[in-house]
A = this chain, B = another copy of it.
């Protein structure tokens, strides 16, 4: 058997991004999964820049075999807002200069790559989506049968009971394309949503960063350098130089490096109005007071607790 047959195949959809880079590195290092493709989308940075970053990081990791496709520049409705250089740096990876990759992205779009992989690994492919979900929505529009060929979708996005991070209730990935997120949520495939409730409670700190910087692994060292910028942004939130683990949490849940211990399957709906709740991921968590109760017919799990802190495990895996 080939490695890809033994390991669960994963397509990563991302807006690389510092924490996207951590997620990418996590999936590359994870023993039980095989990264078989990367699609990019505008979010933290543009889809094109996210592809340049992804290609460069893959080459740094010696994994130039993983195809990378540029996906949607704009959300389904409206225009890409230019990203968040104050969080992820001018180039999306904290201003760190990683050597440009020697290869170019795939010819087709990210949606097309996802569709191709879903046929190649029919019934086995898992999707890890850590950016706005535009590519997934576009792929579903191109071929609604996609949902039936994908084994699972794990998406970083939303805020269940925690406050949002763009508005009082909206998390960035969903905020950047609420219409796409709603399409993904109601597609009927098995979605595991990894919201701010859990990602903000798992962090890296200067000790973790020092370990990454001291690693013999080039990608780990590059990640350690990126975190300098990221830590600075999060200093006011945490009071110490550190960062939440948004995207790597979705990667770790998908790769089963951490195991959700409280993740009820509940009705989830994205607010696609133009009201004050736009972009909110409304998860129906009523009735969860006496333990995690799955709602009948619900296809979306919301991860609220995991079995161990992600930070130390993440660094152990990467260095």
Interface residues of chain A, those whose CB is within 8 Å of chain B, are 161-165, 167-169, 237-239, 267, 269-277, 280, 282-290
State whether B277 touches A282 (Cβ < 8 A): yes
Across the interface, name the chain B residue whose C-beta is closest to A268: B168
Across the interface, name the chain B residue whose C-beta is closest to A280: B277
In the complex, A290 Cα to B234 Cα: how many Å? 12
Interface of A is mostly: loop
In the complex, A205 Cα to B237 Cα: how many Å? 39
Choice from B239, B273, B286 contacting A290 with Cβ under 8 Å: B239
Given contact pairs A161-B161, A289-B237, A289-B238, A275 touches B284 in the complex (Cβ within 8 A): no
In the complex, A238 Cα to B169 Cα: how many Å? 27
4 further A-B pairs in the complex, CB-CB below 8 A; given A168-B286, A273-B275: A163-B284, A168-B285, A237-B287, A237-B290
A245 to chain B, nearest CB (A): 16
Chain B residues closer than 8 Å to A289, beta-carbon distance: 237-238
Chain B residues closer than 8 Å to A285, beta-carbon distance: 163, 168
State whether B275 touches A169 (Cβ < 8 A): no
State whether A271 touches B282 (Cβ < 8 A): no
A182 to chain B, nearest CB (A): 10
Integer count of this chain's copies in the complex: 2
State whether B269 touches A276 (Cβ < 8 A): yes
29 contacts between A and B (CB under 8 A): A163-B284, A163-B285, A163-B288, A165-B286, A168-B267, A168-B269, A168-B282, A168-B284, A168-B285, A168-B286, A169-B280, A169-B282, A237-B289, A237-B290, A238-B289, A239-B290, A269-B276, A270-B276, A271-B275, A272-B275, A273-B274, A273-B275, A273-B277, A275-B275, A275-B277, A276-B277, A276-B282, A277-B277, A277-B280
A181 to chain B, nearest CB (A): 13
In the complex, A290 Cα to B240 Cα: how many Å? 11
Given contact pairs A275-B272, A276-B271, A286 touches B163 in the complex (Cβ within 8 A): yes
A29 to chain B, nearest CB (A): 30
Across the interface, name the chain B residue whose C-beta is closest to A237: B289
Chain B residues closer than 8 Å to A286, beta-carbon distance: 163-165, 168
Chain B residues closer than 8 Å to A168, beta-carbon distance: 267, 269, 282-286
Across the interface, name the chain B residue whose C-beta is closest to A271: B277
